[in-house]
Structure 1
Amino acid sequence: MTGKSTSNPAAVAERLIFSNRPWVILICALTSVFLFWQAAQVRPETSFEKMIPLQHPYIEKMLQYKDDLSNLGNSVRISVEATEGDIFDPEYMETLKQISDEAFYIPGVDRAGVRSLWSPNVRWTEVTEEGFDGGEVIPQTYDGSAESLEELRSNILKSGQVGRLVANNFKSSIVEIPLLEVFPDPQDQGTLLKLDYRDFSHQLEEHIRDKYQSQNPKIKIHIIGFAKKVGDLIDGLIGVAMFFAVALGITFLLLLRFTRCIKSTLAVLFTTLVAVGWQLGLLHLMGFGIDPYSMLVPFLVFAIGISHGVQIINGVAMSSSTAVNALSAARMAFRQLFVPGMIALSSDAVGFITLLLIDIGVIRELAIGASVGVAVIILTNLIFLPVVVSYLGLSKAALKASRESGARESGIWRKASNFANAKVAPISIGLAVVAVCLGLWYGQNLQVGDLDQGAPELHPDSRYNLDNDFVINNYSTSSDVLVVMVKTPTESCSKYDVMNAMDNLTWKMENTQGVQSVVSMVTVAKQVIKGMNEGNLKWEALSRNAHVLNNSISRADSLYNSDCSLAPVLIFLEDHKAQTLATAVAAVEEFAAQNNTDDYQFLLAAGNAGIEAATNDVISASEGMMLIAVYSAVIFMCLLTFRSVAATACVILPLVLTSVLGNALMAWLGIGVKVATLPVIALGVGIGVDYGIYIYSRLETFLRMGIPLQEAYYQTLKSTGKAVLFTGVCLAIGVATWIFSDIKFQADMGLMLTFMFLWNMLGAIWLLPALAHFLINPDKLKAASVNKEASA
């Protein structure tokens, strides 16, 4: 027996830990003080570059030429609406000027690129009998008089800004604000600051929306753009703390009902909250903050910690019937559950680590945070918790309930044990096969990317999406822009061959479904050439004369760079739905493949639609690879643990059913596979394997004793079924509160994870014994156990 115990890793760890209990308590206490102090310094943060796949060719090209792409990167648009009358009002124009000036001085704004009617680079052009005439849309002589306003109206009509900076109905106009990810500190020009999206969003609300809407009731402000959307998402994180408190309260009540012991209930909650604190503290030490996507991680750490804590308490209660004291019971429970718990948590961690395969910063940070959290749970809930319980013990009521439960027959578990019955098992397998077939059939409707207009991360009735709807409905150029970059040698972008190719691309895209309009330097050049020929429509075409072309693009502001080596083609889309992006991108790629030469190339892509297309491309390519990786990792861990293909199949196949049904549910609910939902797939598999590992570990123990399968499964459910059921409920509660979040993608993640956690639990209880009936040979297990004992 000594040789056996020495070779048992659980026994070795047990002696090391329980022989040094005071040191374990002291080390955990000191670690908690330090890491909780670190956790208190964690702040919500994100960045534009973390949300995009930096290694994708589209993004690499966009970043390579970002200095040449004016106002086509990270920017915000402020639409100032006149609720009474139109914009040709002295009071409105003065308010617009103040808003433009106010926005100009907000830290993080790229001031050189700010554009509004008051900007000197917004100009008008017309053809007269004396030639071309032009000037600033709002001239220096503007004084707010009726004559000035009439002149302003005329200038706007001649500027080409109707539908762009000015609404089609003249009831609103836009202030465009390009942003800098890093900018000099206003107080110390030698220090660089990162753009704080939450602070920037608050400044827009405080200094723009609230200030001017309160000053002038005839004004209404609408703000859209990536930075504003992210700012609203981060604000939504504050409300998440309430959900955490609700989940904590519900879990406390359920734990108390499960354990019937206030001491053990508090011990589980305490050690789990320690795990959350350690995880946040370690993230801060690693230089990470909390963004809207990784906010899920503390909830998962809490839920996983509670689930494993329940197994420990259940094990202590079961061991107490034969143990002489609390210490012996804790040691017995630790010895029994340490290896299954380690395997389950290791499987969780491996599942999370597979998310590192996805080249998107926020997903990789989520993977790191979740993996750190799981590693922490090993220390707090598998080691620290048993030590704490060895001092506290369980209440007499808990011990009495455990003994009574062990002694009496359980009607519920007796009925559930029929899942292992020879008559019921084939029916269960048949139902599972039908469910898989239906899930695969309906799951074909699952799409990659966004399926709604506006910001799908927010609810349709959110203020941001209402603002976005206003801009879409009142302007000709939507907020969804796909930018094609036309790269040429220096001083060559105005050559006829280049511009003719751009004109052909414009025609092709204007006739592509989902495209609203197309703007490029060719658009301006053709209008100028027409103007130089008395406005005759026959002359609205490109000239082969180089001097004419060079002169025609001189008024194409921001539509080519300073050395005429890059010219963007702006393709305004009706929306950024997955199908719209795929259609537009495919059309551009087809055109580029047919028309690229050594002298000019059509490069994808910039603009927010280009970024979305690149993100969809990465997710589409990564989804299958990630799923293969997470299942391969979990299968490897199970094979390493059980040394049996049959046992591994019993644990893994219920997870496969859940994954298939999860995809079908996403398709039915209209949820696309995107940055917010892709991690759910890995999380559902990684965490869901816990149920099967705990159930099969106990089942195998009873089978090795020579107990028939159905009776062995009954004893398994009687000893650990209640804990597994409670584990599923706790995991679901940890994320179910998110369903009520103001942030739609959090509600979607909460709904999907709740489904996957509950269905994984039900699948393990229902399908695992049916699979075991066909795959597991009890006699072989018994013989192996006898041989092992004889050799020991």
Structure 2
Amino acid sequence: MGSLRTGRRERCGLGAVKGFVERYLTFVTANPVKVLIGSMVLAALLMAGMSQLTFRSDNRVFFADDNPELQQLERFEQLYGRDDNLIYVVKAREGDLFTPERLNAINEITDAAWALPDVKRVDSVTNFQRVRAVGDDIEIDHLARSGDSLTAAQARQLKADSVLEPLLIDRLLSRDGTLGLVVVQFSFQADTASAQSEVAMAAGQKTLDRFALQYPDLELGLSGSVALDHAFVEASTYDSSVLLPIMLVILLLIIVVALRSVVGAVATFLVIMLSTLCALGLSAMLGIPLSSPSVIAPNIILTLATCDCIHICAGMMRHRRSGLGRPEAVKMALLECWWPVTLTTLTTSIGFLTLSFSAVPPFAHLGIIVAIGSLMAWFLSVSFFPALLCVLPWRGKDSSVPAERFSGAVARIVLANPRRLLAGISAVAVVLCSLAFTNVLDDRYVRYFDQSFSFREATDRMNEDLGGFYILEFSLDSREEGGIATPQYLQEVDAFAGWLRQQPGVTHVHGLPDIMKTVNRAMQGGDANAYALPGNRDLAAQYLALYEMSLPFGTDLRNQLTADKRYSRLSVSLNDISTRDMTDLQARAEAWAADNTTLVAASARATGTSLLFAHIGNRNIQEMLQGIAMGVLVVWVIFLVAFRSLALSLIGTFANFIPCLATLGIWALINGEVGMAVATVASVTFGVVVDATIHMLCGFVRMRRDRGASSAEAVRATFESVGPGLVTMTLSLAAGFLCLAFSGFQINAWMGTMAALTIFVALLFDLFFMPAILLLLKPRQQGRGAVAMEAQ
């Protein structure tokens, strides 16, 4: 008796909700103009926030303030300053750089670099400070001073001399002399770094273009952190100004072709534009900035908004074709789609909000912006969209649309072979899911950009011939003021540097011992055997003071030593090694220092931007797995509450989780490497692919409820009513995300490719796997679900 009362209370409560929905839809269809005005006023208020929208282009947007590696790097920079640099990569097209004309070109580039805004230091092949013995004294001067006249023989001699300079070779000059660098250091403030970086990049590019025309025998390019930040801007501009319009046109064409409704396409266009602009405006009010990963939020929002409109539009076309007038057709379609569209909005928003678990702030921002956009799309789809279609002239086509014919053909296949389909798809899924775990984590941030970016070309050229874009930094503590001159300190740092030079992937190591050895050699008349550390502390301190006093303006050691002479910097340049190898080198270096040094062991902790990116991939995956697990649990609970059937909730969750895992298996066959974008894709696609499952399950249960149909009849009817919208929606989703595959920014390209692939795999599950299971379910289990939906 108590159970009966509970059931009645549930039916009464859900019946009240259904009654409210019917009254609301009656109001919308009876007062379309009022609804249009009201929704437009609300949209205008939200869009006003776009005036506060900001964009961050610096690479540190990828790291949260509490990121431990970022905090360590900031402590390092407090001692030695920020390394905001622009690197002119100069390569001889034929021969080497050691001709009078080419050395003069490097000098001209070096002089021009001093004129760039906010510059604080310029290091190049020609202004390298060479230490030479001159009688009983030493001379510190440029390798090739600007303005000096050189003969071809003198230039060749400079090449021979360069080989003897460990601080130059493999750092600013390749060993074969074909590639050299001009490294420009800037003085940027942390709060204005993005703006200063863009100004410096514009000036640097203008200088590069001038010299490229003047010296056609040299291959010139720009690398460095400033060029990297600008590449993020370039990628974002392309994605928003080129890919977004293309995606929009493709989505609208799919609607016109699949549903044959120009009016529906126009109404959908207005909904997706308003949804996107409202989401951006509200996000700006919340203080959320855009960045290269999050700038694709509008692309995703317009895709999701299209899906809601497609289902409603497909239903309206069907009811209009059956003879209903516009308002009646709109109301009936919304009554059918209300619960599926509402549930899909809820699950999609949850899927994207799981991105807030990401260790990478731009991905968290992306999730929040898209979740807001999804909610706005739902609101406009059940208010603005139906009201507009009550006003605009349109009618249903007399013949069936292509999507209807396709879904009918699929239904016949499923009804004829449910067991075979279930067995075959399950076997393939098991194989693909097992392959998912063979992917290798690698996140080289230079490869975030394809070869269309000049930054990528220049950096690849530098890494291939010289190395040095990826750098590990150490700040080694002598534990006392002036302690860097002690023999023990210098010997331990030198031994550490020697061990690092022997490690795979290391191209150069630069530290205080190298300077001291160079000065000592010069003080001993240039004897090669004297390339060794000074014998005592006083002598080392004198040599260091002499060296510092002899350095010209702009080449001092403030970026190498602290003012109290307690700490010195050890820089380790790497070639294009994987993030896995980089973190392995870090661990081995710190372990070696702990085992083989006493004075510097505690401070031998690597840092640098390269390490930040190396670690963020692992941390992002670990934290996103927690978010995904939470999202899967919440979606399962939503299914359980909505359908009040354990069987249906498990089917729905399983039919969406497995395609995500299977896609990673396919990716293992295609690529095999995943970075920090992979966990993001899992969250994005899990939220999106649930949509089709909900529409399929809701359609199936509705047919069981309304008609008391058998499983076969319910599946067939579901394909007839839901199939066209589901197929069209999936095509729109896949096409929308696939457009992102053409982004030059590889994080977005990988995300688009994997998302489109996941959506396609999920469609196969929704069209073949899930109906096959529903056909084989016991009637009692289906009935429980049907009763639950009947109450709604």
Structure-2-length-normalised TM-score: 0.86
Partner residue in 2 for 1:189:
none
Partner residue in 2 for 1:178:
185
Q: Does 1:27 align with 2:38?
A: yes
Q: Does 1:367 align with 2:377?
A: no
Aligned equivalents of 1:551 and 1:292: distance in 2? 50
Indicate conservation of the 8 Å contact 1:42/1:281, yes or no. Answer: yes
Partner residue in 2 for 1:168:
175
Q: Does 1:415 align with 2:412?
A: yes
Partner residue in 1 for 2:255:
255
Q: Does 1:443 align with 2:436?
A: yes
Deviation of 1:37 after TM superposition, in Å, equals 6.2
In structure 2, the CA distance between the partners of 1:511 and 1:679, relative to structure 1 (3 Å rule), is: same
Percent sequence identity over aligned pairs: 16
Deviation of 1:438 after TM superposition, in Å, equals 1.9
Q: 2:130 aligns with which of 92, 110, 124?
A: 124
Partner residue in 1 for 2:7:
none
Aligned equivalents of 2:685 and 2:459: distance in 1? 34
Indicate conservation of the 8 Å contact 1:56/1:618, yes or no. Answer: no
Aligned equivalents of 2:27 and 2:708: distance in 1? 33
Q: Does 1:601 align with 2:606?
A: no
Partner residue in 1 for 2:499:
508
Partner residue in 1 for 2:552:
none
Q: 1:729 aligns with which of 718, 728, 731?
A: 731
In structure 2, the CA distance between the partners of 1:236 and 1:4, relative to structure 1 (3 Å rule), is: closer
Q: Does 1:69 align with 2:80?
A: yes
Partner residue in 2 for 1:223:
222
Aligned equivalents of 2:114 and 2:286: distance in 1? 35
Aligned equivalents of 1:698 and 1:272: distance in 2? 25
Aligned equivalents of 1:353 and 1:256: distance in 2? 32
Greater shift, 713-722 or 209-218, is seen at 209-218
* Structure 2 residue runs without a partner (length 5+): 1-10, 549-556
SS of match in other structure, 1:626: helix
In structure 2, the CA distance between the partners of 1:786 and 1:56, relative to structure 1 (3 Å rule), is: closer
SS of match in other structure, 1:455: helix
Provide Cα deviations, 1:490-530, integer angstroms capped at 9, x if missing partner.
42344444444333433433333332332322333345455
Aligned equivalents of 2:789 and 2:175: distance in 1? 83
AA in 2 matched with 1:479: F
Deviation of 1:603 after TM superposition, in Å, equals 4.6
Aligned equivalents of 2:479 and 2:469: distance in 1? 31
Partner residue in 1 for 2:148:
143
Greater shift, 731-740 or 434-443, is seen at 434-443
Deviation of 1:41 after TM superposition, in Å, equals 8.1
- Correspondence 1:253-402 to 2 at 5 A: 253-320=253-320, 325-392=325-392, 394-395=394-395, 397-398=396-397, 400-401=398-399
Aligned equivalents of 1:394 and 1:644: distance in 2? 40
Aligned equivalents of 2:641 and 2:773: distance in 1? 20
Aligned equivalents of 1:374 and 1:84: distance in 2? 56
Aligned equivalents of 2:179 and 2:543: distance in 1? 30
Aligned equivalents of 1:118 and 1:536: distance in 2? 23
Aligned equivalents of 2:313 and 2:511: distance in 1? 68
Aligned equivalents of 1:404 and 1:745: distance in 2? 35
- Count of aligned positions: 766
Partner residue in 1 for 2:515:
524
In structure 2, the CA distance between the partners of 1:742 and 1:96, relative to structure 1 (3 Å rule), is: same
Indicate conservation of the 8 Å contact 1:351/1:682, yes or no. Answer: yes
- Correspondence 1:516-595 to 2 at 5 A: 516-529=507-520, 542=533, 545-551=536-542, 553=544, 555=547, 557=557, 558-591=559-592, 594=595
SS of match in other structure, 1:264: helix
Q: Does 1:78 align with 2:88?
A: yes
Aligned equivalents of 1:497 and 1:600: distance in 2? 12
Partner residue in 2 for 1:652:
653
AA in 2 matched with 1:523: D
In structure 2, the CA distance between the partners of 1:551 and 1:203, relative to structure 1 (3 Å rule), is: same
Partner residue in 1 for 2:123:
115
SS of match in other structure, 1:144: coil
In structure 2, the CA distance between the partners of 1:766 and 1:84, relative to structure 1 (3 Å rule), is: closer
Provide Cα deviations, 1:456-504, integer angstroms capped at 9, x if missing partner.
12224653333223323443x5222112332343423444444443334
Indicate conservation of the 8 Å contact 1:739/1:751, yes or no. Answer: yes
Q: Does 1:770 align with 2:780?
A: no
Aligned equivalents of 2:403 and 2:688: distance in 1? 28
Partner residue in 2 for 1:470:
461
Indicate conservation of the 8 Å contact 2:660/2:686, yes or no. Answer: yes
In structure 2, the CA distance between the partners of 1:595 and 1:235, relative to structure 1 (3 Å rule), is: same
Aligned equivalents of 2:671 and 2:268: distance in 1? 38
Deviation of 1:283 after TM superposition, in Å, equals 3.6
- Correspondence 1:40-119 to 2 at 5 A: 45-69=56-80, 73-83=83-93, 87=97, 91-107=101-117, 109=118, 111-116=119-124
Provide Cα deviations, 1:677-699, integer angstroms capped at 9, x if missing partner.
44212111110110101100111
* Structure 1 residue runs without a partner (length 5+): 185-191
Indicate conservation of the 8 Å contact 2:618/2:676, yes or no. Answer: no
SS of match in other structure, 2:562: coil
Aligned equivalents of 1:529 and 1:684: distance in 2? 62
Deviation of 1:716 after TM superposition, in Å, equals 0.6
Q: 2:469 aligns with which of 460, 469, 479?
A: 479
In structure 2, the CA distance between the partners of 1:682 and 1:606, relative to structure 1 (3 Å rule), is: same
In structure 2, the CA distance between the partners of 1:669 and 1:218, relative to structure 1 (3 Å rule), is: same
AA in 2 matched with 1:681: A
Indicate conservation of the 8 Å contact 1:605/1:611, yes or no. Answer: no
Structure-1-length-normalised TM-score: 0.86
Deviation of 1:340 after TM superposition, in Å, equals 1.9
SS of match in other structure, 1:166: coil
SS of match in other structure, 2:441: coil
In structure 2, the CA distance between the partners of 1:682 and 1:593, relative to structure 1 (3 Å rule), is: farther
Aligned equivalents of 2:60 and 2:533: distance in 1? 39
Aligned equivalents of 2:498 and 2:433: distance in 1? 40
CA RMSD in angstroms, aligned pairs only:
3.7
Deviation of 1:62 after TM superposition, in Å, equals 0.6
SS of match in other structure, 1:483: strand
Deviation of 1:124 after TM superposition, in Å, equals 1.7
Greater shift, 496-505 or 693-702, is seen at 496-505
Indicate conservation of the 8 Å contact 2:656/2:762, yes or no. Answer: yes
Indicate conservation of the 8 Å contact 2:275/2:377, yes or no. Answer: yes
Indicate conservation of the 8 Å contact 1:671/1:748, yes or no. Answer: no
SS of match in other structure, 2:124: coil
In structure 2, the CA distance between the partners of 1:509 and 1:629, relative to structure 1 (3 Å rule), is: farther
In structure 2, the CA distance between the partners of 1:150 and 1:707, relative to structure 1 (3 Å rule), is: closer
Indicate conservation of the 8 Å contact 2:86/2:185, yes or no. Answer: yes
AA in 2 matched with 1:483: E
SS of match in other structure, 2:294: coil
Indicate conservation of the 8 Å contact 1:78/1:175, yes or no. Answer: yes
In structure 2, the CA distance between the partners of 1:242 and 1:131, relative to structure 1 (3 Å rule), is: closer
Aligned equivalents of 2:662 and 2:788: distance in 1? 42
Aligned equivalents of 1:535 and 1:636: distance in 2? 78
Deviation of 1:584 after TM superposition, in Å, equals 1.0
Indicate conservation of the 8 Å contact 1:592/1:602, yes or no. Answer: no
Partner residue in 2 for 1:458:
449
SS of match in other structure, 2:182: strand
- Correspondence 1:755-766 to 2 at 5 A: 755-766=757-768
SS of match in other structure, 1:168: coil
Aligned equivalents of 2:103 and 2:251: distance in 1? 57
In structure 2, the CA distance between the partners of 1:404 and 1:598, relative to structure 1 (3 Å rule), is: closer
Partner residue in 1 for 2:698:
697
